C-alpha cells in the first residue's frame, strides 16, 4: 500500500512523516528504507505474526508494508510552481490514497502560513492545488486526444470523458464527486490517476490535551469530521509532536507511554486502520518454519487470486486452500491440534478469504 502525505507548511506534516517512518522501523525491527528524501517504507504492525512465528518456530517474520510519500513544500500556488510542491505532485499520482494532515491546534510559537487556524480553509487550499494539477493533466491529455480521435474512433469515449471532467473540475468540484455513466467511464476515470479522485484520509493534528477523548471536545476536529463525512473520507486524530516522542522509545516504553496518555494505539496504527478501512483491505497469513508472513488483499478476494499474491503459479495451478482462522489456531496451540478438532477447512476456488485466515495453498503446475 502506498500513501501520499500532503498538507500546508507548519501543520505537522513533516513531523508526522518522520515519526511514522521511524516508529515503524523500530516497532517491527524492520530496516527503514529511504528510497529518496521524501519516501519511506514501514511495516504494518501486526502482533498476530509474532504469535504464529513463535508457535511455528519461524526463521523470520515478514510484515506487510506501507510506502509513505511526503509531498514537501505544498503551498498555495504549488500547481503553478510556487514552493517545492509542483516537483513532488507527480510523486503521488500512483498512490492508493492521500493522507491530508490538517492543523487543529493553537500554538503561538508555530506560525500558520495563513495567519490563523482554519482547517476547512486549509483543506480547500490543498484541494485547489490538487485540482489545478489535475486540470493541467487533463488539458495535456485532451490536446493529444483531439489530434488522434479524428483517425481513431475508439478514442471517442475517452475524449468525451476528458471534456466532461475538465468542466467538472473547472466548477471547483473534485474528480471523486464525478458520477461515471457506466463501467467503461469508471475504468477510464481510474486510469487517469487524478489526485482529486484518490481516496482521502484526514489526519487531524491536535494538541496533547485533545488526544485522550480522540478530539471529541475540539471544535476544529468536529469540522474536519463533518467535511470528511460529506465526501466519504476517513478521519483519525493524531498529535504529531507526541508521535515524535513515541518514535524515540523502545517497544515496552512505548506501551507505557501510550497508557499514561490514555491511548490504546499509536498514530501509525490509527492511520493503518483508517487506510485499510477506506481501501477495503484485509490481511491473510502464511506461517511455517521458514517464515510467517502477512499478505494484504482486497476484501472479497477469492482463494485462487489470494494465492496469486504469493506467486502467479499458485493461482494458475490452484487446487485448494487449507484454512484455519487465527483465533482457532492460537486457541488450539498448534496446526495439528486445530486439524484434529476439525477446525482446518479445505476450501475451493469460490472461497472468499477472510481477515486473519491462516492459509496453506495446494497447487500443481
Q: How many C-beta neighbours within 10 Å does residue 360 have?
A: 14
189: nearest Cα among 138, 225, 262, 145: 138
Work out the pLDDT band at 348, boundaries 50, 70, 90.
very high
Contacts of 329 (CB under 8 A, 6+ apart): 52, 55, 335, 338, 343, 358
State what percent of residues in the chain have pLDDT above 70.
88
Q: Would you say how long the chain is, in residues?
A: 365
Q: At 304, phi and psi to the nearest 5?
A: -60, -40
| Sheet containing 200-205: order of strands | 33-36, 39-43, 65-70, 2-6, 97-103, 200-205, 234-238
Work out the pLDDT band at 25, boundaries 50, 70, 90.
very low
Q: Dihedral sign, CA of 118, 124, 125, 130?
A: positive
pLDDT in tens, 117-154: 789 999 998 898 889 889 989 999 999 999 898 888 88
Distance CA 160, CA 185 (A): 10
pLDDT in tens, 227-244: 999 998 999 999 988 888
Work out the pLDDT band at 27, boundaries 50, 70, 90.
very low
DSSP β-ladder status, 345-347 and 281-287: unpaired
pLDDT in tens, 179-221: 999 999 999 999 999 999 999 999 999 998 898 888 899 999 9
Q: Which of 89-93, 161-165, 347-351 has the lowest mean pLDDT?
A: 89-93
DSSP of 7-50:
--TTSSHHHHHHHHHHHHHHHTT---EEEETTEEEEE---HHHH
pLDDT in tens, 244-283: 888 888 888 988 998 888 888 888 888 888 899 999 999 9
Work out the pLDDT band at 24, boundaries 50, 70, 90.
very low
Distance CA 347, CA 89 (A): 44
Residue 365 is predicted with a pLDDT of: 82
Residue 30 is predicted with a pLDDT of: 36
Residue 154 is predicted with a pLDDT of: 87
Residue 72 is predicted with a pLDDT of: 62
Mean pLDDT, the chain, as a whole number? Answer: 86
Distance CA 81, CA 74 (A): 10
Distance CA 128, CA 121 (A): 10
Q: Which of 67-71, 75-79, 122-126 has the lowest mean pLDDT?
A: 75-79
Three-state DSSP class for 310? coil
pLDDT in tens, 45-63: 899 999 999 999 999 999 9
Burial label, 169 (beta-carbon count in 10 A; 0-12, 13-18, 19+): buried
Position 31 pLDDT exceeds 90: no
Residue 266 is predicted with a pLDDT of: 84
Amino acid at each position: 500500500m502506498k500513501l501520499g502525505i500532503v498538507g500546508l507548511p507548519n501543520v505537522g506534516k513533516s513531523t508526522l512523516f518522520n515519526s511514522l517512518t521511524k516508529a515503524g522501523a523500530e516497532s517491527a525491527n524492520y530496516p527503514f528504507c529511504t528510497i529518496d528524501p521524501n519516501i519511506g517504507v514501514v511495516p504494518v504492525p501486526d502482533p498476530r505474526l509474532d504469535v504464529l512465528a513463535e508457535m511455528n518456530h519461524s526463521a523470520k517474520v515478514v510484515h506487510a508494508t506501507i510506502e509513505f510519500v511526503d509531498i514537501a513544500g505544498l503551498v498555495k500556488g504549488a500547481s503553478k510552481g510556487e514552493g517545492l510542491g509542483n516537483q513532488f505532485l507527480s510523486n503521488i499520482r500512483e498512490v492508493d490514497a492521500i493522507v491530508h494532515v490538517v492543523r487543529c491546534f493553537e500554538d503561538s510559537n508555530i506560525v500558520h502560513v495563513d495567519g490563523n487556524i482554519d482547517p476547512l480553509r486549509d483543506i480547500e487550499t490543498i484541494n485547489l492545488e490538487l485540482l489545478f494539477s489535475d486540470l493541467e493533466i487533463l488539458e495535456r491529455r485532451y490536446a493529444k486526444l483531439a489530434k488522434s480521435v479524428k483517425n481513431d474512433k475508439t478514442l471517442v469515449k475517452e475524449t468525451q470523458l476528458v471534456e466532461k471532467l475538465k468542466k467538472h473540475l473547472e466548477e471547483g468540484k473534485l474528480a471523486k464527486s464525478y458520477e461515471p455513466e457506466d463501467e467503461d467511464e469508471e475504468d477510464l476515470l481510474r486510469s487517469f490517476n487524478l489526485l482529486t479522485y484518490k481516496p482521502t484520509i484526514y489526519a487531524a493534528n491536535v494538541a496533547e490535551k485533545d488526544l485522550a477523548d480522540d478530539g471529541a471536545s475540539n471544535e476544529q476536529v468536529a469540522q474536519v469530521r463533518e467535511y470528511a463525512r460529506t465526501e466519504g473520507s476517513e478521519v483519525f486524530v493524531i498529535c504529531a509532536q507526541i508521535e515524535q516522542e513515541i518514535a524515540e522509545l523502545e517497544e515496552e516504553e512505548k506501551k507505557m507511554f501510550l497508557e499514561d496518555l490514555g491511548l490504546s494505539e499509536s498514530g501509525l496504527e490509527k492511520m493503518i486502520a483508517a487506510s485499510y478501512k477506506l481501501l477495503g483491505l484485509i490481511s491473510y497469513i502464511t506461517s511455517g518454519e521458514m517464515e510467517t508472513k502477512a499478505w494484504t488483499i482486497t476484501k472479497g478476494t477469492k482463494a485462487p487470486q489470494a494465492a496469486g499474491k504469493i506467486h502467479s503459479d499458485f493461482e494458475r495451478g490452484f487446487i485448494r486452500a487449507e484454512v484455519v482462522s487465527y483465533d482457532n489456531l492460537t486457541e488450539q496451540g498448534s496446526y495439528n491440534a486445530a486439524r484434529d478438532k476439525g477446525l482446518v477447512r479445505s476450501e475451493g476456488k469460490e472461497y472468499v478469504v477472510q481477515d486473519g485466515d491462516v492459509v496453506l495453498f495446494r497447487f500443481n503446475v
